[in-house]
Amino acid sequence: MTGMPKEKFTENAASIMQIIYPEDVPEFMTKIRESAKSLSYFFHVFRCNTLKGTIWIEARATPNRLKDGTTQWNGFLVDITERIISEKRIQESNNRLITVMNSIDAIVYIADMETYELLFVNEDLLKAWGRDIIGQTCWKTIQSGMDGPCPFCTNHLLLDAAGNPKEVYQWEIKNSTNGKWYDCRDRAIRWIDGRMVRMEIATDITERKEAERALFESENKFRTLFSSMSEMVALHELVFDAHGKFVDYRITDCNEAYTFLTGMEKEQMIGKLGSEVYRSDPPPFLDDYAEVALTGKPNHIETFFPLFNRYLSVSIVSPEKNKFATVATDISEIKRAEKTIEEKNEELEQIIYVASHDLRSPLVNVDGYSRELEYTVDDFQKVLEKGAPGSERVETLLRLSRSGRAALNIVALDMDALLRAVLSSLDYQITTSGVQIRLSPLPSCLGDEIQITQVFSNLIGNALKFLDGRRQGVITITGAVEKGCSVYCVEDNGIGIAPEHQENIFQLFHRLNPQKTEGEGLGLTIVKQIVVRNGGKVWVRSEINQGSRFYVALPMNPHTN
Ligand code: ADP
């Protein structure tokens, strides 16, 4: 073992002392003295300088007290150099491993796969848990609230059927002790002492998880909004040719309202070119859309889409360059209503025209024209008799020729006379219905005689038409000057009008009981139009089953009132 001759040691056992490493001598001496004194078993490891170099020796010997009082040891000296070196190497590599594990920016622990004892935890884990947990059971200390190995333990996933380590197993978990999310990489490794252990490297991904969750929530929120919107939304991207000129657009997403409009499935549209989907090349509104997608400046178009047979109001916005979204509202109904209103207005114009020209009460006509004729004859007579100078004569003749064409001829009206004329034109109805008419003295006002006659013959005509057959009919006509207006009231004690209908009755063709009475639903519309044209107002106060009062306010006559 030492490469030295046997005699060197047989002659004097103490020769061994000469080859022990000087630093190891004191300890050796202490131990051997102790053994000699108490006759205890001698065990010691020390280094020796031999001819073969430095070696590690393990000494085991039993002491015996001899008769002469000296001590003799029987035992072995074993060269354990190899073992020491390999143990050292393991220790070094273990230290290196621990250094590496401590420098990883993650939690690392190693646990016995059988007993769940923690054999190693790195500094990150110690810091995070704030106490030393080596030697404790992993499921009791790393997790909380467990009454046995964790149900999600990955141990069984780390070894193959033959009990050999498998690949790294990666998973994510929210820790029950600190509530943080970890990305875990687990694998089975053989520990220094030969047993199989699990090593887990867990990276804190709480922030990422939070961000993911927030993103998911916002994505979810907008997705719900997107799909439940009644507006038709579609996202597109521009398609360019080899020269960089836009030639088409591609649909990248659309909502349910949009598929409903087009009558196509999402799959038939998403990823498809506008030219394919809308069967036109270039696709509809390519230039308008491209401008928004390229400049980012939003735009708005309102047009009829023959393909869908609908009027759409479309807002175009660009969420990022070369992309655009269209948000369309179906305005077909509004357009249709607008058209109806236009048509109704046109009809109304016609009616007013007819009313003011053709539906004149014959009596008023005769009366008016005969009076007009009288004046004219009078004027002619004066002009001819007096032989007025040239200019004045021409002037008068021109006025006469114009008067017939004037559409609206506002004059001071003698309302007592006007109402008497209206009543006498309705004389037949009044007599047959046995109604009682009360006409009070009325103030004068300004208006077109023919048209105002029409107004009152309509109102009194209605009063007669809607009397209540169960009682004596009474129609009262009164008037007063109020705040610069002459206000007239046609009152009846007829069937009355329910409050909810009082606004509508002035609308065109609006009738409350079409089957019960005759009429077109025109009368009150004409009344309102005429009164407004003459600078006045009309309104109603009525109580069902009691009667109605129709008020007409017209500009007062400044000379008489
Ligand atoms: P119509 O030509 O059908 O009489 P109007 O425009 O004159 O149409 O009147 C519209 C509706 O208003 C009538 O159909 C009737 O229901 C109601 N109405 C008008 N005047 C009276 C009234 N004096 N009393 C009760 N209802 C009336």
Q: What are phi and psi of 526, to 5 degrees?
A: -65, -45
Does the beta carbon of 511 lie inside 6 Å of ligand 1?
A: yes
Q: What is the pLDDT of residue 130?
A: 81
Does the beta carbon of 324 lie inside 6 Å of ligand 1?
A: no
Residue closest via CA to ligand 1's atom 13 equals 511
- Ligand 1 probe mutation, 351, 454, 466, most atoms within 8 A of CB: 466
Residue closest via CA to ligand 1's atom 7 equals 523
Residue closest via CA to ligand 1's atom 14 equals 511
Rounded to whole angstroms, what are the CA distances from 366 to 355, 455, 461? 17, 18, 20
Does the beta carbon of 523 lie inside 6 Å of ligand 1?
A: yes
CA of 505 from ligand 1 middle (Å) equals 7
Q: Kindly state the tokens that stand for 214.
A: 């927030």
Residue closest via CA to ligand 1's atom 12 equals 505
Do residues 518 and 507 lie in contact, with contact meaning Cβ atoms separated by under 8 Å? no
Crossing angle of helices 449-465 and 523-533, in 10° steps, is: 150
Does the beta carbon of 463 lie inside 6 Å of ligand 1?
A: yes
Q: Collapsing DSSP states into helix, strand and coil, what is residue 82?
A: helix
- Ligand 1 probe mutation, 351, 459, 465, most atoms within 8 A of CB: 465
Give average pLDDT by consecutive 10-residue segment, the chain, 561 residues. Answer: 86 85 94 94 94 92 94 92 91 86 89 93 86 89 91 94 93 92 94 88 93 92 88 94 95 92 87 91 93 95 85 94 94 88 78 57 57 71 60 46 54 96 89 92 94 92 93 96 94 94 78 62 82 92 96 91 49
Q: How far apart are CA 198 and CA 401, in angstroms?
A: 117
Q: What is the pLDDT of residue 12?
A: 83
Counting residues of the chain whose pLDDT is more than 90, the rounded percentage is: 57
Do residues 59 and 77 lie in contact, with contact meaning Cβ atoms separated by under 8 Å? yes
Q: Collapsing DSSP states into helix, strand and coil, what is residue 556?
A: strand
- Ligand 1 probe mutation, 347, 462, 525, 539, most atoms within 8 A of CB: 462
Q: How far apart are CA 275 and CA 258, in angstroms?
A: 17
Q: What's the one-letter identity of residue 17? A: M
Q: What is the pLDDT of residue 521?
A: 65
Q: How many helices (H) and strands (E) does the chain have?
A: 19, 20
Q: What is the pLDDT of residue 517?
A: 60
For the beta carbon of residue 343, count every other beta carbon within 10 angstroms. 10
Question: Looking at ligand 1, which atom is closest to the CA of residue 550?
Answer: 23
Query: Residue 381: enclosing H or E segment and its boundaries?
Result: helix 362-386
Q: How far apart are CA 516 and CA 528, in angstroms?
A: 24
Do residues 412 and 557 lie in contact, with contact meaning Cβ atoms separated by under 8 Å? yes
Query: Residue 33: enclosing H or E segment and its boundaries?
Result: helix 25-38
Q: Kindly state the tokens that stand for 281.
A: 């090349």
Provide the 8-state DSSP code for 504.
G
